[in-house]
Structure 1
Amino acid sequence: MDRQTDNVTCATWHQNQKYFALGHDDGKVSLWNSGGTHLFSWWPHEAPVNCLAFRNDGGLPTILSGGDCAACSQYVPASDTLQELSQLYFSNLSDLSWVEWLTEDKFLTSDVQGNIDLHHFDIEQLKRRIKEGRYEDKERAHKTFTGHAGGVYMVRVKPGSHSIFASCSVDCSVKIWDTKSKNEPLLKDLEEHCGYVTVLEWIPSTDKLISASFDSTICIWDTSSGQLLHTLDKHKDAVTQISLSPNSEYLATSGLDGDVHFWSIIDAKYINSFEGTGRIIQSSWNPEGSKLVATSYKTVTILNVKFDHKARENRLKNLEENLEEMPKENNEIKSNRHNDRDRDLKGTILY
């Protein structure tokens, strides 16, 4: 990387993996290609950038950034260079904690006071206003969702949906919302955690949602009914990250206890663990699901992950047979016990 990248506060990749963006503590957002070449920098904020999100389309990058305000920036070709057009949104009364695209032209923001706003981005209207000299930073929120009693950590849109999203907060709750509902947008209020809920992850093509908390547990929910399906409780300190494998069959969880635990999604079975050298802050799979990167304050660890799929198939077959033999009212899978290690995971190798 051939340009200053000190004081980076957040980062995100474009879905096509051709670009990534960095947020900085001076309010700057910078765009890079996958080879580490700097493409563009701009300063939409006057305070540290807390969060970033690419719009997943095939055109030039459109980036959401959040800090002291929300900024939506789209790149347009200009001669032999790129230039960006940015619309700023100042509807929030406090710093933003998360930004997330809902549709191609609508996005959500959350702030540290517990508010969630729905905004609209119209690039053609922005171009007209700039051309006519009528640009203003006074775009109001189309809708505000209130209900959390404390700051919101994250909002996550349900995959395949253009209206349903989940939010989590320092009030220890998870809430499910529907932006299309005019009377009561709050669909479900999920309360089981007894600590800040900091991370959410939807399981694609299902109504299931995973939440992680400072109370050291991970919960798997059926959001259609509001039922808690499983509680994963092997961490000994706050859970900092959950990462679903690309095939959605396995979950990696990491925490301040320095451990990375691997679980089978379908039955919430504990598989294996990696003990790190310090507090794990982030963990993420590669696109093939063969490696997991875990980061602490000073160390980046790459785990080579190999699963014994035959062992998994045999175990699930036995589970299905056992469930068929049980009385119907007792068919609920109990997942709070993880003392017996599943051998789906053949090994983790430190690079």
Structure 2
Amino acid sequence: LSVIGSLVNLCHLMSLFFLPAGFSHSAFTFGIESHISQSNINGTLVPPAALISILQKGLQYVEAEISINEDGTVFDGRPIESLSLIDAVMPDVVQTRQQAFRDKLAQQQQQQQQQQQQQQQQQQQQQQQQQQQQQQPATASTAPQQPTPKNGEATVNGEENGAHTITNNHSEAMEIDGDVEIPTNKSTVLRGHESEVFICAWNPVSDLLASGSGDSTARIWNLNENSNSGPTQLVLRHCIREGGQDVPSNKDVTSLDWNSDGTLLATGSYDGFARIWTKDGNLASTLGQHKGPIFALKWNKKGNYILSAGVDKTTIIWDAHTGEAKQQFPFHSAPALDVDWQNNTTFASCSTDMCIHVCRLGCDRPVKTFQGHTNEVNAIKWDPSGMLLASCSDDMTLKIWNMKQDTCVHDLQAHNKEIYTIKWSPTGPGTNNPNSYIMLASASFDSTVRLWDVERGVCLHTLTKHQEPVYSVAFSPDGKYLASGSFDKCVHIWNTQTGALVHSYRGTGGIFEVCWNASGDKVGASASDERKTMGERNRCDLQ
């Protein structure tokens, strides 16, 4: 603590570590219990991953100790050893590791001697065989045989070996084929945010990209290709009233959504307020009834109501015209994490309490409650027809529900780590692509994306090119492509019919969110780039 300064500073460093690392629920709980929001420390001034930097320096000090003798000389031939945090705090770690290296060095010398003896014996045997062959008549040589492919090398993600195949001969991250990788001249990096960019969303009718960041701002980027000056940005500063003045809230903007006609943008912040902005960047309304951070918010299709979910365990329907709360729903026993409209007045909500409630405006209790998950429910989504509800959880399952029964229609178990998010394809009845069958995509911390045939309850494709947790998936407007974003810094674009990887982009920070524009020719991605590159737009030809 003498290095960090105080316990309050340590708490801030820990909270700044949790969220970018993907521990969102831990960040919320820790922030509340440690009362970080009540401190006057400006978290935006603290470099990202500051806690990791301090811990790494501590580890390096212990590693240096192991490499140095008591008299200060360097341990003979001793390479710097990489330690884990647990190893570094073990008693007598320096003496133990030095003795272990001495034992290992003696063992290696013994093995080298044995190998030298074996090589000498092999050389003697080869000389004897050559002498015997010279004494025998020569035989006709045979043509060399091509090696038989090993099992599993014939296909990758269901596609035959070819231009889209990625081979991985090392334990490191896979290299992307040159025909798949998006060139730099077809991507645009949007610079301006001063902290991680958690979320982004395209305007549904024009090439305006909204982004929300840890710098307590949202931004609207104009990506009209007819502009000669390049992309422009509007900065939406999230302020609170203090001492009769508007001051920056210094809280993350972690949720945003455009209304259906693209004229208004709603944002949700850790300061507990939702806000409505015009597409020109003007603040229209401030919605304040939550008692803590807002985790999700959605416009209904009609555009007259906004739905929000917060850490205060409640969901609220707001009148978008007046900014007043129409109804607050206090049915969850723990923070509400996600919401989704079934129609203009009915919605579903999920929570860390493992429950899903279906509520309707004007009703004083849920019209339906689904129970079955055994851990936090991270996301819920109604299918385009509003008949089926999909949910995903930290219990590693994906469940499908309908309003006619209390138990799930399908309990899909294939992922082996937490499922972070899900998305339905914009296909099937009630969509612009009625002749294409509907699919569901799931993104997991096991580094995979899965495409599901929900009607049969089977997995169609497992997409395995990511190397780190996958935080976001998004279907193109025609449903033919799926974009996925991972903390491995990659955005991949897949063919949903074959499961083949068709495009790939590698950025310089972990990817939190991906989204398609209305015409389906651009993909936006938000990233954590240590205050350098935040909003990313990847423009690729998908013809």
Q: Which amino acid aligns with 2:408?
A: L
Report the Cα distance in structure 1 between the residues aligned to 2:288 and 2:365, rounded to whole angstroms: 21
Aligned to 2:417: 195
Deviations for 1:233-263, whole angstroms, at most 9, x for unmatched residues?
Answer: 0000100111111121111111000011111
Report the Cα distance in structure 2 between the residues aligned to 1:106 and 1:171, rounded to whole angstroms: 27
> Shift in Å at residue 290 of structure 1?
1.6
Aligned to 2:474: 243
Alignment of 1:281-292 (within 5 A): 281-292=512-523
Deviations for 1:183-211, whole angstroms, at most 9, x for unmatched residues?
Answer: x4410000000011011111221342111
Confirm or deny: 8 A CA contact 2:277 2:283 kept in the other structure.
yes
Q: 1:4 aligns with which of 232, 238, 263?
A: 238
Structure 1 residue matching 2:540: 3-state secondary structure: strand
Confirm or deny: 8 A CA contact 2:301 2:343 kept in the other structure.
no
> Shift in Å at residue 165 of structure 1?
0.7
Structure 1 residue matching 2:390: 3-state secondary structure: strand
Aligned to 1:149: 374
Structure 1 residue matching 2:266: 3-state secondary structure: strand
Report the Cα distance in structure 2 between the residues aligned to 1:83 and 1:195, rounded to whole angstroms: 40
Count how many residue pairs are aligned between Structure 1 and Structure 2. Answer: 283
Aligned to 1:100: 340
Report the Cα distance in structure 2 between the residues aligned to 1:297 and 1:62, rounded to whole angstroms: 31
Confirm or deny: 8 A CA contact 2:286 2:323 kept in the other structure.
no
Q: Which amino acid aligns with 1:246?
A: P
Q: Which amino acid aligns with 2:265?
A: F
Aligned to 1:294: 525
Report the Cα distance in structure 1 between the residues aligned to 2:481 and 2:537, rounded to whole angstroms: 17
Deviations for 1:263-302, whole angstroms, at most 9, x for unmatched residues?
Answer: 1111111112111101111111111112111111232111
Report the Cα distance in structure 2 between the residues aligned to 1:2 and 1:220, rounded to whole angstroms: 36
Structure 2 residue matching 1:306: 3-state secondary structure: coil
Q: Which amino acid aligns with 1:147?
A: G
1:306 equivalent to 2:541? Answer yes
Alignment of 1:66-145 (within 5 A): 66-67=309-310, 68=312, 69-76=314-321, 82-122=322-362, 139-145=364-370
Q: Which amino acid aligns with 2:439?
A: K
Aligned to 1:265: 496
Aligned to 1:349: none
Report the Cα distance in structure 2 between the residues aligned to 1:253 and 1:245, rounded to whole angstroms: 11
Could you say if the C-alpha distance between residues 116 and 277 of structure 1 is closer, same or farther in structure 2, counting changes exceeding 3 Å? same
Report the Cα distance in structure 1 between the residues aligned to 2:254 and 2:478, rounded to whole angstroms: 29
Confirm or deny: 8 A CA contact 1:27 1:48 kept in the other structure.
yes
Instruction: Flag the structure with more relative contact order, 1 or 2, with Cα contacts below 8 A and sequence separation at least 6.
Output: 2
Report the Cα distance in structure 2 between the residues aligned to 1:9 and 1:267, rounded to whole angstroms: 34
Confirm or deny: 8 A CA contact 2:383 2:390 kept in the other structure.
yes
Report the Cα distance in structure 2 between the residues aligned to 1:30 and 1:115, rounded to whole angstroms: 28
Report the Cα distance in structure 2 between the residues aligned to 1:29 and 1:256, rounded to whole angstroms: 27
Bigger fraction of residues in strand: 1
> Shift in Å at residue 144 of structure 1?
1.0
Report the Cα distance in structure 1 between the residues aligned to 2:323 and 2:267, rounded to whole angstroms: 17
Return the TM-score normalized by structure 1.
Answer: 0.77
Q: Which amino acid aligns with 1:200?
A: I
Confirm or deny: 8 A CA contact 1:156 1:200 kept in the other structure.
yes
Report the Cα distance in structure 1 between the residues aligned to 2:323 and 2:540, rounded to whole angstroms: 41
Aligned to 1:327: none
Report the Cα distance in structure 1 between the residues aligned to 2:488 and 2:323, rounded to whole angstroms: 44
Confirm or deny: 8 A CA contact 2:443 2:471 kept in the other structure.
yes
Q: Which amino acid aligns with 2:382?
A: V
Aligned to 1:316: none
More deviation, 187-196/105-114: 105-114
User: Larger Rg: 1 or 2?
Assistant: 2
1:37 equivalent to 2:268? Answer no
Report the Cα distance in structure 2 between the residues aligned to 1:180 and 1:207, rounded to whole angstroms: 20
Bigger fraction of residues in helix: 2
Could you say if the C-alpha distance between residues 180 and 74 of structure 1 is closer, same or farther in structure 2, counting changes exceeding 3 Å? farther
Deviations for 1:103-160, whole angstroms, at most 9, x for unmatched residues?
Answer: 22211010012100011113xx9xxxxxxxxxxxxx3222210000000010000112
